[in-house]
A and B are shown apart, each in its own frame.
Chain A
């Protein structure tokens, strides 16, 4: 079995051949489905827990505290202990709540983000779903998450939940537009929606460098809109603790609450990973024009390290947003989207289309 950290396609191919030798094509298909599903579920849970830990440490760092530091080295097992606690908590259902929808809502939210995470290219040859509508697929399935939030808010039979869900829904639907349009900018540059093709097109330079200023504007808009779409601070008025207790998941306890929490963090990861893939070159190493030695050294770092390195830089930026900016009011939030981001975005796209038409980008 050939294994190379720089190219996973030969490794996955050899697993496929190994399975084909043992069983019929139908069972190969089912087995591969099960393996990939299991890997993604594990990845989802472990990464989600790590992100929660990271957020607490970053928050503590910004507020001049230590954060969790007792369970395990540097408190790394703190969130695992929290998860075990949540698993043992009672699952409580409010009187007169719609039980069926109440139980369904966390699954809708978590499935929507899990479906999107399967389509990301993590390294060369390490991508579960490579549709030729890749980016469109991700935008489509992430838009399902809002259904779960609305269902959770309504079925809880609680005013806080309903108000939180309404705010959250209005926010997500508005900012989805900006996310889509800023990604469209790079689709115009790359000439494809397929994520692997978009990454390949950045082999000689990331789009944020190659696309002049319009690509940078699109990147900034994407960061703002994606932060808002994931309901994170400073746009977290959907779960503004001081006024709405916890927004749409006020009435949720135990592992059901953990599902919402996990999905929120994984949506942040998804936003950062998308920014990485589309604007920052995905798993492509950093190259500078003709500095041969420098480029060779950069090539030596495995693609998967590049991908997660860049993603965590973006995640850190998103976390900085949350802990440094004050929360927006609902009218400010909607003004920002409809009166600033959307017009800038539309002009930006026309500009980019013109750039591409004239062939002025690198």
Chain B
């Protein structure tokens, strides 16, 4: 087995094992930690593919951003001794059945699809090119989605501030 295959297998096994642990763990913070490992292994896969930008985004956004947010909310709401109840047998069987069916469908689709893989050298991805593509208005440019997402995020930010803001003191007094 070549080094590439060994590394791919390693990352793949890590992703699978930690994914299963994420849903099987009965302590919520452990589940969040395993989710972090899943996301980091995925980032490792991107690094191994020489796609550093996507790997960096994966680490910064998912591992450093979303998982931290999840852990923070767990810290605020859950006690350390809290455990989830064991799922009922019926639910367990139904869940496993759905998972097996879904993965069978996904695997059969992936295996029958011709990806047209070729053993070529990896093309280095230039950050300047990514940046220009992101604001380009030409064909294959991402200016419109970029702007739409910006507005969405701005709206979410303002919404968060409005929700978190304390009521005006004079306003409450007049009521």
CB within 8 A of B71: which of A136, A147, A157, A191?
Answer: A147
CB neighbours (8 Å) of A141 from chain B are 59
Give the contact stretch, choosing among A34-42, A96-104, A211-219, A350-358.
A96-104
The proximity string for B residues 59-92 relative to A, scoring 1 for CB distances below 8 Å and 0 otherwise, is 1100111011001101110001100000000000
Once bound together, how far apart are the Cα atoms of A155 and B28, in whole Å?
A: 12
Q: Is the CB of B116 closer than 8 A to any CB of chain A?
A: no
Whether B124 lies near A132 (C-beta < 8 A) is yes
The proximity string for A residues 256-296 relative to B, scoring 1 for CB distances below 8 Å and 0 otherwise, is 00000000000000000000000000000000000000000
Q: Is the CB of B134 closer than 8 A to any CB of chain A?
A: no
Q: Is the CB of A146 closer than 8 A to any CB of chain B?
A: yes
CB within 8 A of A140: which of B29, B60, B67, B125?
Answer: B60
Give the contact stretch, choosing among A65-73, A75-83, A165-173.
A165-173
Q: Which residue of B lies closest to A146 (CB)?
A: B68
CB neighbours (8 Å) of B81 from chain A are 96
CB neighbours (8 Å) of A166 from chain B are 72, 75-76
Q: Is the CB of B127 closer than 8 A to any CB of chain A?
A: yes
CB neighbours (8 Å) of B33 from chain A are 101, 104, 147, 151
CB within 8 A of B52: which of A98, A132, A169?
Answer: A132
Whether A192 lies near B127 (C-beta < 8 A) is yes
B interface bracket (residues with beta carbon within 8 Å of A): 20 to 34
Whether A157 lies near B80 (C-beta < 8 A) is yes
Whether A133 lies near B72 (C-beta < 8 A) is no
Once bound together, how far apart are the Cα atoms of A98 and B64, in whole Å?
A: 22
CB within 8 A of B56: which of A133, A165, A191?
Answer: A133
CB within 8 A of A155: which of B29, B53, B127?
Answer: B29
Q: Which residue of B lies closest to A143 (CB)?
A: B64
The proximity string for A residues 150-185 relative to B, scoring 1 for CB distances below 8 Å and 0 otherwise, is 110111010000100110010001000000000000
CB distance from B120 to the nearest CB of A (A): 18
The proximity string for B residues 126-147 relative to A, scoring 1 for CB distances below 8 Å and 0 otherwise, is 1110000000000000000000
CB neighbours (8 Å) of B123 from chain A are none
Q: Is the CB of B2 closer than 8 A to any CB of chain A?
A: yes
Whether A154 lies near B60 (C-beta < 8 A) is no
CB neighbours (8 Å) of A147 from chain B are 33, 36, 63-64, 67-68, 71
CB neighbours (8 Å) of A150 from chain B are 68, 71-72, 75
Once bound together, how far apart are the Cα atoms of A147 and B65, in whole Å?
A: 10
Q: Is the CB of A193 closer than 8 A to any CB of chain B?
A: yes
Q: Which residue of A lies closest to B50 (CB)?
A: A131
Q: Which residue of B lies closest to A132 (CB)?
A: B127
Tell me the A residues contacting B by CB distance below 8 Å: 26, 29-30, 96-98, 100-101, 104, 131-133, 136-137, 139-141, 143-144, 146-147, 150-151, 153-155, 157, 162, 165-166, 169, 173, 191-193
Q: List 16 A-B contacts (CB under 8 A).
A: A98-B30, A98-B80, A132-B52, A132-B124, A139-B60, A140-B59, A143-B59, A143-B60, A143-B63, A147-B33, A151-B71, A153-B75, A154-B71, A165-B75, A173-B68, A191-B128
